[in-house]
Amino acid sequence: MQPAAPRHVYLNLDAIRGVAAISVMLYHFSPFLADGKVLPSSYLAVDLFFLLSGFVIAHAYDGKIENGMGFGMFVAIRLIRLYPLYLAGTLLGFFYLLVKNRLMPAEYVPVSEIGTMLTTGMLFIPLVGDAYHTIFPLNPASWSLFFELIVNIAYVAAFFLLSRRVLTAIIAGSLALLIVAAIVAGTLDFGMTGKTIISGLPRVAFSFFLGVFLCRSLARYQGSLGFLRRGWWVEAVIALTLAAFAIAPAGAGRVGYNLACVVFIFPAMVVAGAVAPTSPRLAGFYGWLGRISYPIYIIHTPMLMIIAGAGKAVAIDPFAHHPWFGIVMALSVVVIADIATRIFDEPLRRFLQRQMQRSRAVA
């Protein structure tokens, strides 16, 4: 395996992930910001997240697993990283529905149904019935986290079988299935509903294992990528991220464009971000973008429901006050994500990590 990459890899890729998370939030907040979609191809940020995840996890854990980290330890570490804020987002959605039942009786949701949503949500069990608009109704963005955990478990379970040849076969096979699914759907925007959940598997498998492959291959080709160490490549990649999300071809061109992004553009962006140096003046900002990327992504949909609902409760029509209402919503989510990271997520994760280490020591 390749030697550990320098720290700037994390900062650059974290910056890209932060911009992508904010783009997804703005995309979902579109009705409160503009008459049309804001960054209309931002649903492709999920594919970029999967690609970044594969790259970073391979970088962080390939050597550790080779040196003896077991299946249970890897899964525990990933759950500690992902679950606290996931649970917080799920509870926010639960709170929203309970309050909505009191304030808007005409849209009453049976408490038993809300309880089912909460129980399945807390256990990462998707709801695939026709009655649900998404497989995780209390926190719709959680659908990608479900697939993230599946592919993480597959990575560690099959780790010693994942040779370059096997990785190539997985990437090629999942790409073929992804192309078929995209042609049938007319888009790559699938995986979040009961009807499209199966199509989510090749979507996550292709990008994640391509990320693993890129990470393991990078050391071989770094010499020929020396030009990326000069200039403003990271900033260019961030601008390209926004440009990719802003372009939205209509009709048949949508499938081709979506596939071009996930197969060519996003991998090139990740390689450039991994190799290019981080500007010292921007290092702190890039690190901050990385810290708030996951919190923004996992809490923005329940916060959307809560803030918009609160506006209606005080007789403010959020749809009639764009873009200001949407701007306030987006800024509020960023601030809440930052606060939640500092006072909830990071302290709780440190506590859980200490408890895990003590359990290992006792064992």
Instruction: Read off the pLDDT of residues 31-83 as tens digits, 9 standing for 90 and up.
Output: 999 989 999 999 999 999 999 999 999 999 999 999 999 999 999 999 999 99
Mean pLDDT in the chain? 92
pLDDT of 363:
62
Is 234 within 8 Å of 276 (Cβ atoms)?
yes
Contacting residues for 118 by C-beta, under 8 A, at least 6 apart: 90, 94, 138
Instruction: Read off the pLDDT of residues 100-116 as tens digits, 9 standing for 90 and up.
Output: 898 888 889 999 999 99
Neighbouring CB atoms inside 10 A of 147's CB total 23
Proportion of the chain above pLDDT 70, given as a percent = 97
Instruction: Read off the pLDDT of residues 36-50 as tens digits, 9 standing for 90 and up.
Output: 999 999 999 999 999
Reading the block at residue 76, the tokens are 């525990």
Give the global pTM. 0.94
Q: Each residue of 260-283: b (16+ CB within 10 Å) or e?
A: ebbbebbbebbbbbbbbbbeeebb
Report which of 196, 198, 208, 184 is spatially closest to residue 130, judged by C-alpha positions.
196
pLDDT of 4:
41
CA distances from 297 to 18, 129, 145, 274, 336 (A): 9, 25, 10, 22, 12
